[in-house]
Structures are given as structure tokens and as C-alpha cells.
A and B are shown apart, each in its own frame.
Chain A
Amino acid sequence: MEYILKNGIVYDPTHNVAGDKKDVMIKDGKIVDNVSSDAKVLDVTDKLVMAAGVDVHAHIAGPKLCLGRLYRPEDSRAGLVAKTDITRAETGFSIPSCSATGYRYSRMGYGTVTEAAVPPLEAKHTHEEIMAIPNIDVSPLALFGNNWFVLQFVKANDLEGLAAFVAAWLKLSKCYGMKVVNPCGSEAWGWGMNVHGIDDPAPHWDVTGREVVRALTQVNEMLGLPHSMHVHPNDLGHPGNYPTTIGTLDAVKDIKKNPNVIRDQTIHCTHLQFHCYGGTSWRDAKSGAAPVADYINKNKHVTCDVGQVTFDETTTMTADAPMEYDLYKLSGLKWANKDIELETAAGLIPIIYSPKAPVNALQWAIGLELFLMINDPWQVVLTTDSPNAGPFIRYPRIMSWLMSSDRRTEMLENEVHKWATKRTDLASLDRVYDWNDIATVTRSAPAKILGLEQRGHLGVGANADVAVYDIEPENFDATKASNASVIEDVMGRAAYTIKDGEIVVKDGKIVKVVPSRHMWTNVTGFEEQEKKVLEDIMPMFNRYYTIKFENYKVFDHYIDPAIEFKIDAGK
């Protein structure tokens, strides 16, 4: 099938196309520069055209989601949509049903989403849920930061062994890249403890977060994985945590990037908002965004996503179990814990972010400060750490905040607690994002950061993942506060979402359902070392895991259809 999207206003930051009126041509699922006369013409005259969105960090599939749905049936009754001839019924607000997750991303014009925290032990379950999520390709990241084998290799300072282990474990779990969550802290939680800062060792291991992040980052570059180290640093959500954040980023500064990757960074810091707090307690907490943004502005080895608070009742879920327990102690709401044997520990608790609550207003303002203080939009990605700071369906609302300082002023003056004004610099930031910046932080930058060459742009050869929005950028003043609701509305229901050259959304409605592909990285060139490592660790595996190794692996039928990223690590 061939399409030609005619006369749209195109934003493609990868190719320095910023609001040019031009056609986008599609053939056989790819962007091309020429189509035959049989091509179907889609008249998108003067409408906003971008590559489909790419989410660098969200929680959409796996055991935490399942636990959340079981634990929060009251969330399921929000967001009810009846089934249609094409779609299944939808349920849920912060933890939508699997099919609803796919439809909702698709309606926003997104085509790729990273599932940010897969415990390898539960990778099968994660892939099962991805099979039930339509219309978005998913790049799952496996958790390594509290894995016993990783801690063992780090302690022995055996990088070669660690690299082989990571290569083997990505194959076993069929994951795309590596994720580290509160390194050593979630392991400490097994003893009812946490670690504080990057130099506090995990009990009984005598290994620190700094050592784990450094070793895994070195291995990531040694193997040349498409995505970089993706880290949720220690001390999440604690007042005074920003030095830990900067310390974590600085700990890998000297590590050389693999020459074969398309990304610029060696470390991606996720949901940075939760890691930029000053003060010493919630009494005197204040923003720590400025020093962190300053560090990022000076250091190109770092990228981040924000984890913007959206003022919703949502669900927090993370492999940072001790943090979830702290949150439970603060809010008293129902709390669930999930231990993942030798790998990690997760927690879950509902949360209500209120604009009138001082702490929540502060968090909201810090998120926006980061967007506005980090100069290069290629270093910052729009996320809510969905559902932790808010559900992903709020992305269009965040765009409206970024595009209008008048709207932000209106909120600071009338809607949010004064801590947002008094304890942050948000009120003094009048920078606004234009459509090019929006395209950068929602598609081009995340695709590049993930190392996805064929996504996030509209160059020839790219996947034909395209979004068209029912707004005319040339006849619309996005800086006007009163237009914020218009932005939220149109960016939430794409006029067209095209996935691999097929129209899946038209006029905000799902018109076609296609299976999501499972993206995974196959490291080659380490086979001998992998074999040896597996032999070496098998006694410990057999002794401590509750399942047999034969049943641990994700079999191929769990990842159909798949996209394999073959990496030659010997190169």
C-alpha cells in the first residue's frame, strides 16, 4: 500500500524540518521519496505532521501492572469504554487494561513505547502482556541493578564475565536493554533496609550503587547495546537527593561511548523530577532542578526524561520497594510489595497528587523547571514515568504547559499551592516550547536516545510511523493560556496515526488493530564467554531460584512478532 500525505506542516527535527509545507510519502511500511500514481492521497493540508511518538520510559506490561490491576479494582472502573466492532472494551485510568494501553497510545499518535522495568524472572509475563497490547512496538528493559549475579561480578571486578552475563540475560529475557533501579537499595530491602547515596553498600555484598552503575555502563558500551545505561538513581523522592543524582551521572563521565551506536549519551537518567529535590526534609524541601539542569547542560554524556507530575489520582509502581514503603508510611494508603527472588523487589501504592498539596505542587514545578532549564531538547524527553507521576494519557496536557508560559503563570497564581512559586524558579522561566521542541522531546530525541535508527523521524528509510494532528500550526497561537485546552484536546486524538504504513487511527478513533512487536537485542560474538558464565552461575541459580533454569527462558512463541536487533559485540 502506498500513501501520500499531502501539504501537511511537517516537523522533523532529525532532518531540520521545522514547519515546512511538504508531502510525506509511504510505501511498504517505510518512508520513501517517491510513490507511484496508485498511491492513496491523504489531504492533510496545513495540519501538523510528525513522526509517531516514542516513549522512552513507561510501565505498561508485566507483573507490577498485573499486581496493580488486582490490587486496585477501583481504578479499573475509571476509563470505561464499550467495545466496538474493532476494539475491545477498555477499563482503567492509571492501570489500563492491556488493549486500552495500546489504543490510548495509538490515539495520541504514539508508535513505540519502552516498558521500563522487566524483572527477567517475570519476563514471560511481560511478553504475554505485550502480546495483548496492540498498535505500539515495545522495547522492554531488563532490571540488572540488584541482581545477585551482577553484584557478584561487580564485587569480583569481572567486567568480562558481567558482559557475558548481560548478553546471556538479554537473550533469555528477550529484552532490548538494561535498566538499573535504586542500585543495591532494592537488594537491601530484602533485609528491610535501603541504601542512602551511591556509596552506601548493599548489606552482605559490600558493593555500592556507584560500582554497579559504573560496571554496567562499561559493559553497556563494551557490548555496544543500542540504548545506554538507563538509571533510576538512589534516594528517589527524598528531600536533598539531588547531589546523589549528579554523583550518579558524574560517576560514568569518563566511560567511553561505543563508536558503533547512534546515540550520544552513555547514561539516561529516568524520571529526573523525582531526583531533583533540595532541602533536608519535607519541611524545608525545595527545588534542586537548577544544579542538575546545569550539570546536564554541561555534559553531553547525559540524557533524561522528566516524570512530570500531572495532578491526578494515580498508582505508583516501581522496582524501588523500599521507596514504596516510605511512601506508604507517609500516605497510609494501601501498599503492596512484590519480591522477585534474586533480582529485585517491587512495591505499589495509590497516590493522589493534588495541586493544593505543597509537596505535589513542588514536584509539579520541578518537573517543568527541568523541561525549561535544560537547554537542549535532545537531552530531555517528555514522560510521566507512567503511571507513577501520572498516566501517559496526560502527555498532551504537559505539552500545553510547555507551550504557554501564560498558562503556567495562570496555574501558579490560581491553581497550585504557593510552594511552586516560593520554592522553585518556575515563575521566572518564560521559555516556551514550539512545535519543533515538542516533536523533539516526544519523538526524535527519545528515538535517538533509545538507539532506534528507523523511528522518531520522517527521513527516507524510516518506519512509516506517522502522526497527523487536527491543528494548523501556522494559524494557532499555542502561547495563549486559553489555547491550552485546545492543545490537550487535539494532541490527544490524532487525525491520523499511521503504523508501519497502515492507518490505525483516524479522527481520534481506532480503525485498525495490529499486533505490537517485541523489540529485543541479540548480542553476538560472546557465545563462548556466555557458555562459561552460565556454567559458573548454575549452582547458585539452582540453589536459590524457585524455578528451574529450563523454565526461566522466554521462548520464541512469547515474542511473536519480534524485531531482533543483532549486535556484533566482537566488532
Chain B
Amino acid sequence: MKTITLTLKKFSSIALEFEELIPDTIYNWSKEDFENYQVPVGNSKFPLTNYFDIEVEGDAEGPEDVKMILDGDMSRVKYIGYRMTAGEIIVNGDADLQAGAEMIGGSLKINGNAESYVGREMRGGSIEVMGNVREYCGTSYIGEWRGMSGGIIKVHGNAGKQLADCMSGGEIYIGGSCDILAGIHMTKGYIEIGGDVTRWPGGQMKNGAIVIKGKLSSLLEGFENEGIFVDPDIEGKQLTGKYIKYKGDIGVNGKGSLWLNAEKNRNLL
């Protein structure tokens, strides 16, 4: 096991980019290697040591033996865990854009809030965010019609707009509330939202399931009511309580399912 601890000593208002600092590339780096490393900052590169105190303990045979700890405010550090395939990254603070984007395996935990594009085009592994995430969590790249295809994203706080756009696999759990267009264009996968949702979940969804445990303010016209189910089993997940089931989006001949907590959405009964 190798533990790498980067402790922020100087905050840069121009974002640092961490796409190279993932367990896959650094598992065999010594302390000196980190000290010699130049981190991309804007359109330039500067020594990592300008920004961080670095500690390296133990040895790793491969990325799976690596635990990276990022201590401090990482709200201007982008691409944490980008394309990682194994190992563990823990952020003790907030994270900037693209945390866990294109992640393939391993785990990323953010003990704070994260900016937009958490887990974009994720294929595997797990991401846990203790705070909130902004827009486009678990989505595709802009323009791309193939989105998150695997892995698990768990957000304890709230999620912003267009959660899981074009999702085609994997699971997303949002503990808090969620803004517009969750699960838009999704073709497969599972989304569970613990809190309230503003508007239009599942727009143009073809398949997959969205569960909303809180109140939904506005449902799209393309969803057909299929009745009320008690303690439903949805894609292998046992839920408790009464749920109204909808099928949609019929505008695109969709066979997706949208489940709304019946108690919280009595206006739709």
C-alpha cells in the first residue's frame, strides 16, 4: 500500500489540472518524482511543489495499491481522478470541474462539494460526494450521445441541472434535491433522487428507471400513468412505500420508467 498525501499550501485562482496525477500514472513515483513534476495551470505548467506539500509513504505494485489524499480546498483543481482505472482518491475539501470524468475503476471520495461534470462518461468504479454537485453530473460530453455507461455515483447533497444526460448504464443516487432534466435522453441505468425535483425528469428517455422520493413540481407531457405500486422492485432494488409509475417519454417511443413517491405527489393521484 502506498499513501500519497498532497496538502495544499498555495491556492491558485487559475485552475490546476490533475489529469496526469491518477494512481495509474503515479503508483511508482517517488517523492522526488512528485517534486520534479510540473502541473498544468491554465496554458502553462508550474512545479507541483509551488502548490502542495507532498508526502509519500509505502510502496505500490500497481494503481490498485495507491491511496491518494488531497487535503485542502481543491475548488480550483480540475480533473481529479480523470480516467483512473484503480486505486483510491480522497479529497478533503471541495473539487473543481470534471472530478471522476471518464473514470473506469477505483474509487473517488469528495468530502465537500464538487463542481459540474462529476463522473462525466463514467464507465466504472465509484464516486461519492458528501456535499452537493453542480450541473451535468454523470452526463455525456457536450454533443456526445453516449453518456455514463457504468459505475456508481453517490451524492449526499443536491444535484444541479441535466443530471445523467444520455446515461446508458450504471447507477446514480442523489440524497438531496435535483434540478431540471434529470435523466434526459437516458437509454439505460438507474437514478434515485431522495429529495424534491424541479421539472421535467426523463425528457426523451428511451429506457432505464428514475425514482423520485420527494416532490416533483412539473412532469413532462410524454409520460403515461401506469398506476400505483406498493414496495416496488425496480431493477433489482427493493423500495418501500407507495409509488406512482409512469412510462415514457412517449414522444420518442420510450419505454423508460419514472417512479414518484405517491405520498409526496398527491396532486398527481
Contacts and interface: CB of A to CB of B under 8 A. Distances in A.
Contact of B142 (A73, A333, A334): A73
A74 interface: yes
Contacts of B140: 74
A72 interface: yes
Interface string A213-228: 0000000000000000
A72 B145 contact: no
Contact of B141 (A71, A73, A333, A334): A73
Contacts of A566: none
Contacts of A74: 140-144
Interface residues on B, range: under 10
Contacts of A77: 141
Interface string B123-149: 000000000000000001111110000
B145 A71 contact: no
Contacts of A71: 143
A367 to B, nearest CB: 27
Nearest to A73: B143
A184 to B, nearest CB: 33
A74 B140 CA distance: 9
B259 to A, nearest CB: 26
A74 B141 CA distance: 7
Contacts of B142: 73-74
A72 B140 CA distance: 13
Nearest to A333: B145
A67 B43 CA distance: 28
Contacts of B145: 333-334
A69 to B, nearest CB: 10
Contacts of B141: 73-74, 77
Contacts of B144: 74
Nearest to B142: A73
Nearest to B206: A332
A72 B142 CA distance: 8
A72 B144 CA distance: 7
A71 B143 CA distance: 7
A334 B144 CA distance: 10
A75 B145 CA distance: 11
Nearest to A71: B143
Given A72-B143, A73-B142, 12 more contacts: A71-B143, A73-B141, A73-B143, A74-B140, A74-B141, A74-B142, A74-B143, A74-B144, A75-B143, A77-B141, A333-B145, A334-B145
A-B residue pairs, 10 tightest by C-beta:
A74-B144, A73-B143, A74-B143, A73-B142, A74-B141, A72-B143, A334-B145, A333-B145, A77-B141, A71-B143
14 contacts: A71-B143, A72-B143, A73-B141, A73-B142, A73-B143, A74-B140, A74-B141, A74-B142, A74-B143, A74-B144, A75-B143, A77-B141, A333-B145, A334-B145
Interface of A: 71-75, 77, 333-334
